[in-house]
Structure 1
Amino acid sequence: MTSKTTKKKPISEDAIKVLIAEDNAVSRKSLSSQLESLGFNVVAAAATGEEVCSLFPELKPDLIIMDIKMPKMDGIEAAKVITKHASIPIILVTGHSSETVISRAMESGVGVFAYLLKPITKKDLLPAIKVAFARHNEFQTLKSEFSDLKDALETRKLVERAKGILMKRLTIPEDEAFKLLQTQSQKENKKLKEIAETVITASRML
């Protein structure tokens, strides 16, 4: 019998550079292999939050995927450190779907835009990566409206709530919900924050 091997897509020069952090060696190798098989360029595989914080300035990754639970510095704390110095979309990995943990992860730093539940599969990776980049681009749009990063982060929370309302009521995907908010913002010549607040207020009356 021959052992099955994972076919890897050739890594192109313009492939998305990914920095990963996972303290479990088996999980770290598995995640790296899955990403490479999808055509991503894994520039490094760190074992701790401290290590990923020291690596990202030099490696300049396009995306960071790291576990929440790591020794010394967990993924959430590492995300806070990273986003103080650079705007990089970050995906956090968790072993359980606790709403408290996920909420803390998503709101802890401006760079945390998606999460993955263990065990990670290739079919989960691509959607999470697409969501992370889409939300990162949305946040860049929000930052252009505010000089203060704290205001931009607070607005992001409101926009996420408004998107959720539109997605549920209109049965539309996340990107379309954001486009609706943007279109209304331009049409009424108002900031996205104001449009999001209007959607949230209206939903409470229905």
Structure 2
Amino acid sequence: MKPSIVVVDDDPIIRMDIREMLEEHGYSVTGEAKNGQEAIEITVKLKPDLVIMDMKMPIMGGIKAARLIRKLQNSAVLILTAYSQKDLVQEAREAGVTAYLVKPVSEENLLPAVEIALSQKEQMDTLKEALKELEQSIEGRKIIEKAKGIVMRAYSVDEEEAFRRMRAASMESRISLSKLAECILEGRAERIFGMARKG
């Protein structure tokens, strides 16, 4: 499935041109907006992969909208602008903008910018997922360590023996080590350890 894109510009002709370029290359344009405020609302509602947004718009500009979108939603933002001053580029970067494109927009410069923005979003999503898994793993280790301390005290055994008993109980009862650790911390592991010791 092709990534979903929202196009934001106060000029309907530019929106139509961008939509046509994207759809010709198989992208799915799921929504349009004419200012930053509308962009935020439609992005929160549709959760697109990418928002292509003009920098200068009435009501709310692209930079402010990009900053709010990045806080509320995990969408990449590609900013379009007629200006390429360093301070604007820096401001866009600080707002969490993924890519930056100077107008006029042509197929030759739009499509590579879209691909780069989507690729960076994919990399960020992968990193976030890996970080989440790492945090869960660390949390699991902490629970196992706490449970091991309880087993050491309860059975007057050393750390290695406590861990061996926990692993045996985990395999015997067919539950993960972290799940067993949770049972130990909640005081619900006596039956499990009884089963493991019988075997």
Matched, 1:86 2:73: yes
RMSD of the alignment, in Å? 1.7
Distance 1:26 1:130 in 2: 23
Query: What's 1:42 paired with?
Result: 29
**What whole-Å deviation, never above 9, does each CA across 1:73-120 have from its counterpart, x for those lacking one?**
1111111111112211110001122111112112212xx110111111
Distance 2:57 2:7 in 1: 12
- Counterparts of 1:174-193 in structure 2 under 5 Å? none
Does 2:120 match 1:135? yes
Q: Which aligned runs of 4 or more in structure 1 are off by greater than 4 angstroms?
A: 141-146
- Return 5+ residue gaps in structure 2 as ranges: 133-199
Q: Deviations over 1:111-142 (max 9, x none)?
A: x1101111111111221112112222343455
Aligned length: 131
TM (norm. structure 1) is 0.59
TM-score (norm 2): 0.61
Aligned twin of 1:121: 106
Counterpart in the other structure of 1:51: 38
CA distance in 1, matches of 2:25, 2:68: 28
1:20-41 deviations in Å (ceiling 9; x for gaps): 1000122111111111111111
Partner of 1:197: none
Rg comparison, structure with higher value = 2
Kindly, what percent of the aligned residue pairs are identical?
35
Bigger fraction of residues in helix: 2
Tell me, which stretches of 5 or more residues in structure 1 are unaligned?
1-13, 147-206
Per-residue deviation at 1:145? 5.0
